[in-house]
Every structure is written in C-alpha cells, then in structure tokens.
Structure 1
Amino acid sequence: MTAVTTAQKAALLNILRIKIDKIGKGELRYIDRREENARAYAEALADANIITDNEREELYDKAKAAAEAAVRAHQGTGEPLQAVQTSFD
C-alpha cells in the first residue's frame, strides 16, 4: 500500500462516493460513462495501492448497482434519480 493517511484515503473514497452518487443523475445516455468513470477511478486507487483489489471489486459492484438502479429509474419514470444510496462501511 502507498503511504497514505486514513484521512487521505477517506477523502479519496469520498470522491469516488460522489462519482457513484452522480451515476444516476442527468440524462440516461450518460449513465454508462459515469459508471465507467467511477470504475476507472477505483482502478487508479488500486493501481496506486491505496485500496486493495477486494475493495476495488466492491466499488465496481457499487458502481454497477448504481448504474442499474439509474437505468431502472429512467425507464420507469423518465426522470433522473435525485440520489443513489451508497455506503463504504
């Protein structure tokens, strides 16, 4: 692992949480791009040894779940989501 403090790691994960939260906001056509961006950020954190491979996989799953929920919401109402629940606990 790269030498990062707990606070630094928390800040980096918070950025990722925000990216995942924004997956469902906006237009339907951008959901896949937002998911890809969140997954790429998680990959970069793993490449820098800030998070483990298992953490990366969990974050991939959260991004995928957020994207799937966003698509379902768009298909059901035609409106973007207001928020997607994510937790890094």
Structure 2
Amino acid sequence: MDVSFAVILLYTLVLGLVAPYISAHSEKYGALVPPTIALTTGSVLWSILIWVGFGTQDGWLWLIIMLAMPLVMVFASARLASARDKAYEAKLAAAKA
C-alpha cells in the first residue's frame, strides 16, 4: 500500500492550523470547515490525477495538489462566509418587516 496520501493528510493538518490566521472571516464558520474543504479537494484531485495516469512520484501531481488545496480552501471559505452574511442580512430584514 502506498503511503504517499498520508502527506496530503499532514498538509491538511498544516492548512487547518493556518486557516484561522489567513482568513478574515474565520468567525463565520467552524474551525474544521476550511481543512475539510482542503482535504476534500486534495482527495478528489489525488484520485483524478492518479486515475488519469500521474504517478505518486510525479512532481506535477504534488504541485497541482499542493497549490489547489489552499486556493480552494480560501475561496470556498470566503464564499461560505459571504453566503452566511447574506442569509443573516435577509433574516434580519425579514425580522424588521
């Protein structure tokens, strides 16, 4: 069994520790949401790239995954925070009316 995927798990742990400090909206969602997004992204990309034919020793596989995980994590977390802000504002407007 190949243990290279364990690197993805460790990278997710690092991203999870760093996520509250790089996001301006970290109080809008739980502490486990950004690393969960990153882990899901890494897992899906890993599966797709391995299925396409990249080897676990291929540098492109690691580069794509290591760049995509934090990017998707930041953008998805920001989008989630924005959606929650809009939902809160709509709920507040409905309560005032």
* TM-score range relative to shorter protein: 0.3 to 0.5
Q: Which has the larger radius of gyration?
A: 2
TM-score w.r.t. length of structure 1: 0.38
Greater RCO between the two (CA within 8 Å, min separation 6)? 1
More helix by share: 2
TM-score w.r.t. length of structure 2: 0.36
